[in-house]
Chains A and B, each alone.
Chain A
Amino acid sequence: MTERPPVLSVRGLSVRFLLPGGRRIAAVTDAHFDVAPGECLALIGESGCGKSVLASALLGLLPANAQTAGRALLGDLDLLTADERTLARTVRGRRIGLVPQSPAAHLTPVRTIRSQLEETVAELRGVRGRAALREAAEQAAERAAFPPDHLDRHPHELSGGLAQRAATALALVGGAPLLLADEPTTGLDRDLVDRTVDELRRHVDADGDRALLMITHDLAAAERVADRVAVMYAGRIVELADAQAFFGAQGPRHPYSRGLLEALPDRAFTPIPGLPPELGDLPDGCAFAPRCERTTGACTTLPLLTGSVACHHPVPAVTSEDIRA
């Protein structure tokens, strides 16, 4: 089997915000990753670490004071240099489907779900005629398991789970090869989290050409759905690992990732001491060093992402013999 090209290829992506007074916020620094067809990559990290800025950069939705560097290739198109017209007419909804963080805020409050789905179907697929639109909208709802008897409701009349499905249905209409889910499960209860991520996974598995980039701080959701995990800290990807190894016996190799996992209530339930650094005032060396229990003299220089982890003293990789022993 030949290696298929990745759906999304991010190379050296950096985002800086320029503030009045000459301050610069380093929201994302030098991010490298690929998302392959049929793959789900989960981008995890604490709130405020730059995850959502990365998503906005891919969609060309950064505010005017942002500067970007690097490349983010979706096929042949560089998302960072594409103009607004290209992004609006060919990318958003058509080549990248966005599953938003807060569906209640993403849906139009004054229109029913049916009307929003019909508009989206008409816009993205060129369906015309009242009966055809109605049928296409109902099919779109069905793909996201949205119950047809709720189509005539307004967003405020839906529970969190149904609003999430409505938003997912809208994201799927265009048949985009890349699904970008930005904290799709925040505030949902565990059953709904499981159902939501299972549905996203199903859409990736359905035809094998689609890819899912899921941004989340919910480690349980990431474990359930992801093939690979990228851990972000202070704007940098510090670990990029196979999900099975990351959540399994091997465990994460970066001390920060280990700390995050150990903070879970079904593990040690102990927090990582201290707070993440300010993105406007990052140290020259490893940004995690002040909170790290394994800090050495080497940590005053910046660790590069070598292999799967950006750390001067990662936890050694376990070989397959060690696991069997």
Chain B
Amino acid sequence: MLELRAITAGYDRRAPAVRDASLTVAPGEAVGLLGPSGCGKSTLARVAALLHRPDAGTLLLDGTPVRRWRHRAPREKRTAFGVVFQQPRLSADPRLRLTDLIAEPLRATGRREAVPERVAELAGTVGLTPDLLTRRPHEVSDGQLQRACLARALVLRPRWLICDEMTAMLDASTTAALVAVVEDYRASTGAGLLAVGHDQTLLHRWCDRTVHWDTVTSAPTGAARPQPKRMSRP
């Protein structure tokens, strides 16, 4: 169970981007969070993925309150989450070949020996051909890079997936392909999903349940200003 209770978070304590937001995702459940641009939904997703420390409120992971965020969080909590961001160009290290991009979480957690097998397996899953794996981000299209970013998010077999506008930059066919990959992964592992977006048609089709930002938070929509997206890796 992933429970966000009365979360207040932001980048300036005087003007939080998220006020008093509460949301629950059950194991195996797919929840879509809908909201307009700049409402603070990405910030809430970052809190849920342990990437942003909230100013107030509680995040419960399987009943245990989370006390540490980002690099201070214990490894088994951090690796329980796979995160896919909106802009693949900003969330991929431009120096890494796609194969190293996908393998990075394995190397960072001391599972180097699993790299050849897992990368090959995941490349097939997300539809990347072997010749694409040797390229760097500037040599592939947005769609191909986002496929690699999704493979990276799945490489540690996370129990939770956080997809923050994963398909906003993509064409219809690539969108459908990546959603199918996420759903196949969830069907085989029982992972839970928090999908954040503004496309109502897409989230209704994709998720078990969609909630609107207004029902999640007590603050009026539009109170927060859009924040610059920061690069971050799970």
Contact = CB atoms under 8 A, between A and B. Distances in A.
A103 interface: no
A46 B169 contact: no
A186 B168 contact: yes
Contacts of B177: 271
A274 B179 CA distance: 15
Contact of A263 (B144, B168, B175, B204): B175
A45 interface: yes
A217 B37 contact: no
Given A48-B142, A269-B179, A187 B174 contact: no
A159 B96 CA distance: 32
A265 B202 CA distance: 5
A187 B168 CA distance: 5
Contact of B172 (A188, A192, A217): A217
B38 A219 contact: no
A47 B38 contact: no
Contacts of B173: 46, 259-260, 263, 271-272
A186 B206 CA distance: 20
A165 B204 CA distance: 29
B226 A159 contact: yes
Interface residues of B, number: 35
Contacts of B172: 217, 219, 260-261, 263-264
Q: Majority SS of interface residues in chain A?
A: loop
A111 interface: no
A22 to B, nearest CB: 17
Nearest to B36: A189
Contacts of A188: 37
Given A190-B200, A271-B177, A47 B171 contact: yes
A83 B228 CA distance: 39
Given A275-B127, A275-B129, A275-B144, A187 B86 contact: yes
Nearest to B200: A190
Given A47-B174, A217-B170, A271-B180, 20 more contacts: A45-B171, A46-B141, A46-B174, A47-B141, A47-B142, A47-B143, A47-B171, A160-B38, A186-B168, A186-B169, A188-B37, A190-B198, A260-B171, A260-B172, A263-B175, A264-B201, A265-B201, A270-B176, A271-B173, A275-B144
Which 4 A/B pairs are nearest by Cβ-Cβ distance?
Answer: A48-B141, A189-B198, A271-B177, A217-B171
